[in-house]
């Protein structure tokens, strides 16, 4: 049902400076940037690796674009750091229904738009051992809307 780690979401105050840290320190590069008004964030996706189901794993850097957003509230409370964990699935609505049936609160009544054409839904952190959890359905490969999601030949990254 859940087949991979899609991304780790990291709350930050300065997206460009944080992206620079990941690039200069680890060699991870931003493969995509967008503003998601509904979620109240400007975000950068740094692709870490491809996976054998055709998906990929990313770091997602999140900078709030308004004060009444979840990430702005998180920063005010906790400061910068890990904000959520996201698992990949081929069927986000089905996975949310199954997990909801196991007593975990699903925060969205229907999947919403996520990064790069994905569909996402969130699970309440209080029902997940304190971890805000996101489910992500990548767009079908033929939709061709996941920049950098194609396989990277081994050795291309200079990551440690
Ligand atoms: N991880 C773990 N716990 C969290 C949390 C997080 N990221 N955010 C809030 N909480 C906890 C708080 O610590 C607080 O706990 P206590 O009651 O014990 O003090 C509780 O949840 C409520 O906190 P709050 O400040 O009132 O939180 P919000 O009003 O922001 O509501 C939540 C929390 C999870 C329902 C809300 O953040 C939400 O709907 N998140 C989903 C959407 C989202 O995070 N979007 C940004 C990312 C977009 C993307 O990934 O694409
Ligand atoms: Co996310």
pLDDT category, 159, cuts 50, 70, 90? Answer: very low
Query: Does the pLDDT of residue 140 top 90, yes or no?
Result: no
3 state SS of 130 = coil
The domains of the chain, with CATH numbers, are 4-137 (3.10.180.10)
Q: Which of 104, 132, 134 to mutate for ligand 1's pocket (most ligand atoms within 8 Å of CB)?
A: 132
Q: Is residue 109 within 8 Å of residue 131, measured between CB atoms?
A: no
Q: How many angstroms is it from 8 CA to the middle of ligand 2? A: 7
Query: Which band of pLDDT confidence, cut at 50, 70 and 90, is reported for residue 143?
Result: low
Ligand 1 lined by 139 (C-beta under 6 Å): no
> What is the C-alpha to C-alpha distance for residues 104 and 130, in angstroms, rounded to an integer?
12
pTM of the model: 0.92
Question: Taken in order 113, 115, 121, 124, is the CA torsion positive or negative?
Answer: negative
- For residue 155, pLDDT beyond 50: no
- pLDDT confidence of residue 157: 46
pLDDT, the chain, mean: 90
Rg of the chain taking only CA atoms, in angstroms: 15
Nearest to 59 by CA among 130, 6, 114: 6
Q: How do residues 55-85 score in pLDDT, each as one tens digit?
A: 899 999 999 999 999 999 999 999 999 999 9
Q: How many CB atoms lie within 10 A of CB 81?
A: 10
Distance from the alpha carbon of residue 45 to the mean position of ligand 1, in angstroms = 21
- Whole-angstrom Cα distance, residue 99 to residue 70? 22
Confidence of residue 148 (pLDDT cuts 50, 70, 90): very low
Nearest alpha carbon, ligand 1 atom 24: 73
């Amino acid at each position: 049902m859940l087949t991979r780690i899609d991304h780790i979401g990291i709350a930050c105050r300065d997206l460009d400076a944080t992206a620079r840290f990941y690039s200069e320190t680890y060699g991870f590069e931003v493969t995509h940037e967008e503003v998601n008004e509904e979620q109240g964030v400007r975000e950068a996706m740094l692709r870490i690796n491809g996976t054998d189901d055709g998906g990929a794993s990313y770091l997602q850097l999140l900078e709030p674009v308004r004060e009444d957003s979840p990430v702005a509230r998180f920063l005010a409370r906790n400061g910068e750091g890990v904000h959520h964990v996201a698992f990949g699935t081929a069927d986000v609505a089905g996975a949310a229904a199954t997990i909801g049936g196991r007593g975990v609160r699903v925060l969205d009544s229907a999947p919403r738009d996520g990064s790069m054409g994905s569909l996402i839904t969130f699970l309440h952190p209080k029902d997940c051992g304190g971890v805000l959890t996101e489910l992500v359905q990548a767009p079908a490969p033929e939709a061709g809307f996941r920049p950098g999601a194609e396989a990277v030949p081994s050795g291309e990254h200079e990551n440690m």
